[in-house]
Amino acid sequence: MNTDTVFHFLGVCVVVSPALLLALFGVTSLINRPIGERLMAQATQTMVMVGLFASVAILGLMLSLDIRYVPIELGNWVVIPEQHFHFHLKFIFDRLSIPFCILSFVLCGTIGAFASRYLHREPGYNRFFVSYAIFLLGMIVSSLAGTIETLFFGWELVGLSSALLVAFFHERLNPVRNGMRVWSIYRIADAAFLIAALMLHHLTGAGDFDGLMG
């Protein structure tokens, strides 16, 4: 097994672990068969630790081998030939993105451990952890995004989950009002984000950050 294969495997683990967590919580919620609190807490802890250990392993390998840049390509997921557009899923592991990724796993892991006890027997326990999983995935995707489209996808996940988490106690008026305020601010930021994406495509012909940085 060569170094590139190891990096690719670890990189996929970093991104897939929160995605699997969201898939587990999301699917069981959609079919109205949510898993129990203990299993949900264990799944959260396991997936966060897998992603964290993989991130630390990548950083350790990069430092030991004196490698500063590791791209992980996952191919084109959407292609529109007539418009010369493709949604290319690419993640960049470097000495700036990995610390953000590790910090996201550490903070989200701490929050998950606290919330699993604080929200014990709370009616919205499952709903909280679905929103939590969306937030975690959004943070990891945003931290490692190698294209403007990938970054926008992660940004949308963070925005959606932030509004849902702020409005978690929806029985009261103020949390819902504050959640709507957060959602409105994210929509304004989206407009600026889309303008930046258009400018990047206009200047480089693609959404890849490598083209912008030269």
Tell me: the pLDDT tens digits for 27-77? 999 998 989 999 999 999 999 999 999 999 999 999 999 998 888 887 665
| Confidence at residue 129, expressed as pLDDT on a 0 to 100 scale | 96
Residue 146 belongs to what domain range?
Answer: 3-213
Condensed to tens digits (0 to 9), the pLDDT of residues 139-171 reads: 999 999 988 888 888 999 999 999 999 999 888
Rounded to whole angstroms, how far apart are CA atoms 34 and 201? Answer: 42
| Confidence at residue 103, expressed as pLDDT on a 0 to 100 scale | 96
| Confidence at residue 171, expressed as pLDDT on a 0 to 100 scale | 86
pLDDT surpasses 80 at 88 = no
Please classify residue 176 by burial: count the beta carbons closer than 10 Å to its beta carbon, then call 0-12 exposed, 13-18 middle and 19+ buried.
Answer: middle
Number of structural domains in the chain: 1
The residue-averaged pLDDT of 83-105 equals 84
pLDDT surpasses 90 at 207 = no
Q: How many CB atoms lie within 10 A of CB 57?
A: 16
| Confidence at residue 84, expressed as pLDDT on a 0 to 100 scale | 58
Higher pLDDT, 1 or 126: 126
Query: Going by C-beta distance under 8 Å and a sequence separation of 6 or more, which residues neighbour residue 186?
Result: 159, 162, 163
| Confidence at residue 189, expressed as pLDDT on a 0 to 100 scale | 87
| Confidence at residue 154, expressed as pLDDT on a 0 to 100 scale | 92
> Percentage of the chain surpassing pLDDT 70?
88
